[in-house]
Structure 1
Amino acid sequence: MDEFTPCNLNYLPENILLDVLSYLSVRELVRAGRVCKRWRRLVRDQRLWRLVDLTAWKGMTSRILWALLRQYLGCGLRCLRLRGLLLSVRGGTFLSEAWLKALSTKCPRLSRLYLLHADLRSLPSCQLLPPSLKVLELRGCELPQDFFNQDLPTSSEEGAEATSSAKQKGSSGRSAPSGISIECLILNNVPSFKDQHLQSLTSWQRLSRLELCDTFRVTASGLRTCAAKDGACGVEGLFRLKYLEISITTRQGYQLQMASLGLGAGWLGLEELSLGGKEVGPGLLCASRLKDLKRLYLKACTLSEMQIVRSCRMLRGLSGLHRLEFLDVVFQPRLCPPEGRGGGEEEQEGEEEPAGGDTVNSESKPDELIPNLRRSLAILLPCCTLAFSNCSVQSNAD
């Protein structure tokens, strides 16, 4: 028999090698580029640098960021995930204005930016971020006071250019277009985000999705001020917003006024609403004022069956509502009165509610609660699709 010749990675075609290298992390890719000239050329292929996750790289510094940007990151970059030094012992400035400008120039197709534990107080405005961004996600970050204000110049030269261009626009009678192209803004556990930041978002011309998760300083009055409503000059506020999420899930003993109560004044054009945690209860009471609402999501909360049925009665006036979804919801069954005490007012209340045929049987077992609740909601909202994902029933203690 003929002897088999030894085979190594050099015999594989480049498309197979690129598939193998795509399973490596960024740090492993950099190390693989030091093997030989061929691997160095393959590692710099932009197909490997479309989705870059640097959150797992321990010891990340601004010097490493500059090296990655000069040697590897390029026009193929679509999504970038970074971990800042806010919780690090070393501290220091992580993202500089010069690096962000270089990122905008070298990566013109970057559409999603995720920042984790980043201290952004050294940046005067979000206008320094790449203009190609469509999605901006901030988690556990610190923000300056005017970070979302797009009217502030980022430097003296840019300020002079902005004033001159504004004069030219004013003389021609046309309004200046928005410089921020972000369509989706996700804020998760950002303690410094407050009503003033929310008010700054009203000047964004393309913002259609806003997620406020564990933003404790946003109040009902602040949300009511930014809601889309008819004003003297037409529709005012966040009138381009189609999706809004408000959730408080992590903080214990949260006693401030719920932000979702600001929905009671109505919101023009809002089609999707997601409520989570402690914002579900007050948000359900105000959801009936959202005349354009089409989809409602309730998640990560505990609800009683009577609370759901009574709230859904108020939603019957929303003709456009066609989807109601429960996600990670714990349902509390109705408490039955002890024996010998059920002859008074409780019995009469139980007789009044089933008159419409849209309540849940009080004697249903825990395993029958969700099917009974589904049937009751189907009667209340016949044109609405109901979905229950990862839901459970709380068992009553004896």
Structure 2
Amino acid sequence: MSSERPLKELPCLSDNLEGSLCWPQRTKLKRKPSCSGMLDTENTPNELIQQWSPPHKKSLTSAKGKENEENVFVLARRPRKKRESTAGLCWDSLPDELLLGILSHLSLKDLLRTSRVCKRWHRLAFDESLWHSVDLVGKALLDAELGQVLSAGVLRLRCPHTCIGQPSFKSTEKLHVQHMDLSGCTVETSVLEDILSRCRHLQNLSLEGLLLSDSIIHYLSQNPELVRLNLCGCSGFSSEPLAEMLKLCTRLEEINVSWCDFKGLHVQAIANNIPSSVTQLNISGYRQNLSMEEVKSIVERCPDLTNLDLSDSVLVTTDTFPVLQQLYSLKHLALSRCYQIHPASLVDFEKFPNLQTLEVFGLIQDSYLPILSKGLPHIQINTLPFSTIARPSSSMRKDHTLWGMHCWLVYKH
């Protein structure tokens, strides 16, 4: 009688043997929790991250026969011991300080991508030390991500000519931003009020061409460190908060209030309350509202003016020359389209020994310009058609500068 037993009676080999085969009962695998679901997304610009993230790969499924539908074939193996790497260092072993130094050299696009690697990299990618300066020029629409970027601790923000929606701040904490350019943005006044109400450390601000309110001017007065303010072409606020703001912002050095929707009271508020710290002033475009009295008041209150623009003021005449001559530090003067000034009287500027540039567009013909330049050899005439006072960057510059400071995190290169 044969001692061999039927195959069906053979016991299943032990699961502990490497390379053994068995048919265990079907067990449900527990899915590991996703890392991204546990990340703190309070100050995370999710819209920008998703825009630059690679598309998710779809899992491939293959149709199998029904013969093994009940029993799943599993190849069981012992877990191999992890070999200690001696060839080099692992990313996880690097300290936070070294990783922050590496991340500081990434572009905005790459930095947002690395924030999705793991929880630790997400935390480091949004460290305040990496978000000191951001340039969002090229982003047509800024919505919730603007509030998240500002809340990340941005000190310098450049996003002119952008459509701003609702920033959606998650907390009531004050912002750290010091230099901000919102020139020409499409933004609701209420949204602008919400942003500026959180600012207490502004040093340079440009709101050129925006519709403002008395509340916005009041919020500006709560920034005593304000140095440069560009309100060119702004409207929507009265003279009282303007005067109060000028009284409280005693560190102002450059202010551009040209071509605003001003009346006589606004011009008087500036002339009677402008701080003595101002060295560059653009108050052009007020035709019948800027009189000789306002010019005298400005000169008396700001004796250290180096750059003054009085263009497009019909009431400015040659009688203002002796008054302007009291400004011993005056280097740049603009009197373009002040039609009450006779071209022949421009030779009197030879009495201004420190004057370097003179803008008189519309007062003299091109044929007379060489004769005037010969009479004033120490002065450059009609070289700057556009004022640069308090503006974040010159119209001729194409780089990512903000009042001479560079922005490292750039939306588009």
Give 1:51's aligned amino acid: S
Is residue 184 of structure 1 aligned with residue 253 of structure 2? no
Would the aligned equivalents of 2:312 and 2:336 in 1 still touch at CA under 8 Å? Answer: yes
State which structure, 1 or 2, has the greater radius of gyration over its C-alpha atoms.
2
Would the aligned equivalents of 1:150 and 1:203 in 2 still touch at CA under 8 Å? Answer: no
Alignment counterpart, residue 242 of structure 1, candidates 269, 278, 296? 278
Give 1:133's aligned amino acid: L
Would the aligned equivalents of 1:53 and 1:81 in 2 still touch at CA under 8 Å? Answer: yes
Give 1:214 deviation, angstroms: 4.2
Greater relative contact order, per chain length (Cα 8 Å cut-off, separation 6+): 2
Per the normalisation by structure 1, the TM-score is 0.54
In structure 2, the CA distance between the partners of 1:369 and 1:286, relative to structure 1 (3 Å rule), is: closer
Give 2:312's aligned amino acid: K
Alignment counterpart, residue 282 of structure 1, candidates 306, 316, 330? 316
Give 1:295 deviation, angstroms: 1.6
> Hey, what does 1:264 align to over in structure 2?
295
Alignment counterpart, residue 200 of structure 2, candidates 102, 112, 131? 131
Give 1:68's aligned amino acid: V
Between the aligned partners of 1:99 and 1:240, the Cα distance in structure 2 is 40
Would the aligned equivalents of 1:201 and 1:238 in 2 still touch at CA under 8 Å? Answer: no
Give 1:311 deviation, angstroms: 4.4
Is residue 215 of structure 1 aligned with residue 259 of structure 2? yes
Is residue 102 of structure 1 aligned with residue 173 of structure 2? yes
The SS at the match of 1:323 is coil
Alignment counterpart, residue 178 of structure 2, candidates 111, 123, 143? 111
Give 1:128 deviation, angstroms: 2.0
In structure 2, the CA distance between the partners of 1:127 and 1:69, relative to structure 1 (3 Å rule), is: closer
Give 1:242 deviation, angstroms: 1.9
Alignment counterpart, residue 65 of structure 1, candidates 133, 136, 146? 146
> Hey, what does 2:130 align to over in structure 1?
48
Between the aligned partners of 1:227 and 1:138, the Cα distance in structure 2 is 21
Would the aligned equivalents of 1:126 and 1:147 in 2 still touch at CA under 8 Å? Answer: no
> Hey, what does 1:164 align to over in structure 2?
none
Unaligned 5+ residue runs, structure 1? 152-177, 229-236, 249-253, 336-361, 379-385, 393-398
Give 1:211's aligned amino acid: I
Alignment counterpart, residue 348 of structure 2, candidates 313, 317, 322? 313
Give 1:206 deviation, angstroms: 1.7
Give 1:211 deviation, angstroms: 2.6
In structure 2, the CA distance between the partners of 1:324 and 1:52, relative to structure 1 (3 Å rule), is: same
The SS at the match of 1:294 is coil
In structure 2, the CA distance between the partners of 1:327 and 1:37, relative to structure 1 (3 Å rule), is: farther
Give 1:83 deviation, angstroms: 5.4
Instruction: Give the number of the structure whose residues are more often strand, by fraction.
Output: 1
> Hey, what does 2:20 align to over in structure 1?
none
Between the aligned partners of 2:246 and 2:271, the Cα distance in structure 1 is 9
Between the aligned partners of 2:287 and 2:381, the Cα distance in structure 1 is 30
Give 1:308 deviation, angstroms: 5.8
Q: Deviations over 1:294-330 (max 9, x none)?
A: 22424594799x94662462784x7xx7233246958
> Hey, what does 2:158 align to over in structure 1?
81
> Hey, what does 2:396 align to over in structure 1?
none
Give 1:131's aligned amino acid: R
Would the aligned equivalents of 1:81 and 1:115 in 2 still touch at CA under 8 Å? Answer: yes
Give 2:294's aligned amino acid: L
* Number of equivalent positions: 288
Would the aligned equivalents of 2:259 and 2:286 in 1 still touch at CA under 8 Å? Answer: no
Give 1:261 deviation, angstroms: 5.2
The SS at the match of 1:34 is coil
Would the aligned equivalents of 1:112 and 1:136 in 2 still touch at CA under 8 Å? Answer: yes
Instruction: Give the number of the structure whose residues are more often helix, by fraction.
Output: 1
Between the aligned partners of 1:32 and 1:258, the Cα distance in structure 2 is 56
Between the aligned partners of 1:205 and 1:309, the Cα distance in structure 2 is 40
Give 1:60 deviation, angstroms: 1.4
In structure 2, the CA distance between the partners of 1:210 and 1:140, relative to structure 1 (3 Å rule), is: same
In structure 2, the CA distance between the partners of 1:179 and 1:66, relative to structure 1 (3 Å rule), is: closer
Would the aligned equivalents of 1:112 and 1:134 in 2 still touch at CA under 8 Å? Answer: yes
Give 1:82 deviation, angstroms: 4.2
Give 1:263 deviation, angstroms: 3.3
Unaligned 5+ residue runs, structure 2? 1-86, 93-97, 386-413
The SS at the match of 2:182 is strand
Taking every aligned residue pair, what percent have the same amino acid on both sides? Answer: 16
Per the normalisation by structure 2, the TM-score is 0.53
Between the aligned partners of 1:47 and 1:111, the Cα distance in structure 2 is 15
The SS at the match of 2:266 is helix
Give 1:240 deviation, angstroms: 2.9
The SS at the match of 2:276 is coil
Between the aligned partners of 2:365 and 2:342, the Cα distance in structure 1 is 10
Alignment counterpart, residue 144 of structure 1, candidates 213, 226, 231? 213
Between the aligned partners of 2:263 and 2:318, the Cα distance in structure 1 is 17
Between the aligned partners of 1:295 and 1:280, the Cα distance in structure 2 is 22
Would the aligned equivalents of 1:100 and 1:128 in 2 still touch at CA under 8 Å? Answer: no
